[in-house]
Amino acid sequence: MNPLGRPLLLGLLAVLLAGCPVAPDTTLQPNAVDAARAKRVAADPWAAPTTTAKARELVGSNHWVNREVGSRTTTVAGASDRPIVLREVRAAVADGWTLVAAACPKGSYVHVELARGSHLDDFARAIVTTVATGSVTVPAYDLTVRVFVPHHADRSWPRPAPVTLERNCLVDPAVAAVTVKDVSHGARFGSTD
């Protein structure tokens, strides 16, 4: 082969190979496990999500996952969000959920978390938040419930201790906030979480 032909052939080969797409990593795409977990949340009478999805990889996220599988937002009239959220928490507890976090910062909105399940396949965490939507004359809040489940790639799931329903900031604003490990972030949970 002549001396000019070799670099030309290598250059052509490099261009052709660069144009070949690499097969996508499918390990984080939703599978039957994710579908079953999302289906359980969709059927949950308290969570009652109006939007549902499967746990999945966040597009363009470098392998982070989105565990939110259901949500609903309801507008509720009331002068304060604490009693609104307390009613919601009591309804959840009556349906088998456990209060695991409650924060009622002064001058801000309530944030509570509830959990259910006893093993990786039926764990779920609900985050309940509020935002004022009413007016001075007709106060109201949008109460949002977002439900998260483990992604099939998670090998563990944080299971926080219960918060006493009778002694938390929803009932008594002087009670300190109780926070828990965030499950809404995209990192996968390993065997040590």
89 within domain boundaries: yes
Confidence of residue 106 (pLDDT cuts 50, 70, 90): confident
Domain annotation covers residue 1: no
Q: Which residues of 123-146 are buried (b: 16+ CB within 10 A; e: fewer)?
A: bbbbbbbbeeeeeeeeebbbbebb
Domain contains 43: yes
What's the rounded mean pLDDT across residues 121-125?
92
The pLDDT of residue 190 is 66
**Residue 81 structural domain:** 25-148
- In angstroms, the CA 187 to CA 62 distance is 10
Does the residue 159 lie in any domain? Answer: no
pTM: 0.83
Residues 141-175 pLDDT 10s: 999 999 999 999 888 888 899 999 889 999 998 99
pLDDT at 188: 73
16 domain-assigned: no
Spatial separation of the C-alpha atoms in residues 184 and 193, rounded to whole Å: 14
Report yes or no on 164 lying in a domain: no
Dig out the tokens for 44 from the structure. 């949950």
Any domain includes 7: no
Q: How many domains does the chain have?
A: 1
> For the segment 61-98, what is each residue's pLDDT rounded down to a tens digit?
677 888 999 999 999 999 999 999 999 999 999 999 99
Cα 8 to Cα 178: distance, rounded to the nearest angstrom = 67
Is the pLDDT assigned to residue 4 strictly greater than 60?
no
CATH number at residue 120: 3.40.1000
184 assigned to some structural domain: no
- Comparing 24 with 48, the larger pLDDT belongs to 48
